[in-house]
Amino acid sequence: MNTLKKAFILNLCIFVLEVFAITWIMTAAGNGVLSGGKLRALRYFTVDSNILMGLFSLWAAVDQGMVLKGKRREVSTISYVLKLTGTVGVTLTMFVTIFFLGPTIGRRSGFFSLFAESNFFLHLVNPVLSIVTFLCFEKTNKIAFKHTFTAIIPLVIYAVYYVREVLTHMTDGVIQKGYDWYGFFAFGFKTANIILPLLLLVTWLISFVLWKLNRRK
């Protein structure tokens, strides 16, 4: 089995796992850590990044399938750029869960509560499978350096949404309960002024490293 066919199969697997996990979190009661039933689950970057990963994996699988069938000469550049973007998003999700949410939210509810039920797939399985697929079976030189910045666009959009939710749900200068769900403003806006730029920098570094490791030698 050649590398392209393996990438095709793995992308289909990622898509199926994403559909499974997203459906699970949206139809669950929403009583777990960082969970929410129905459309409420869309407030989490975890869910949004995994939805994008699923869509981009399906796009790539269709593109790769056409090449395997001889209907296209090679996988398109946009497929690779989308896969970089999606992989960056779920990798960030996994790292934030392990290194930030684990020591904060996990300290109260238990570290492994962040990987319970649907979050086992959203926070761990899907990100790891996405990284392995992108780095091992989709190596290419088609992704330009500038696209390492393109890959952080989803986080920028989400950051605007998150800050807006906080600023529009304040009473007497205090954030209403449930609207700083990641705890970025736990110690006031000064903390957020550090965390949000740091997240953007970390996201770009993830993008750069994945891009670098993905390139053909």
- CA-CA distances (angstroms) from residue 3 to 49, 74, 159, 197? 26, 13, 36, 37
Structure tokens, 46? 């975890």
Residues 91-127 pLDDT 10s: 999 999 999 888 877 667 778 888 888 999 999 999 9
Residues 126-158 pLDDT 10s: 999 999 999 999 999 999 999 999 999 999 999
Q: What is the pLDDT of residue 191?
A: 77
Length of the chain: 217
The burial of 203, by beta-carbon neighbours within 10 Å (0-12 exposed, 13-18 middle, 19 or more buried), is given as buried
Cα–Cα distance, 88 to 50 (Å, whole number): 11
Cα–Cα distance, 18 to 103 (Å, whole number): 26
Residue with tokens 């095709």: 8
Q: What is the pLDDT of residue 153?
A: 97
Q: Which is more confident, 185 or 44?
A: 44
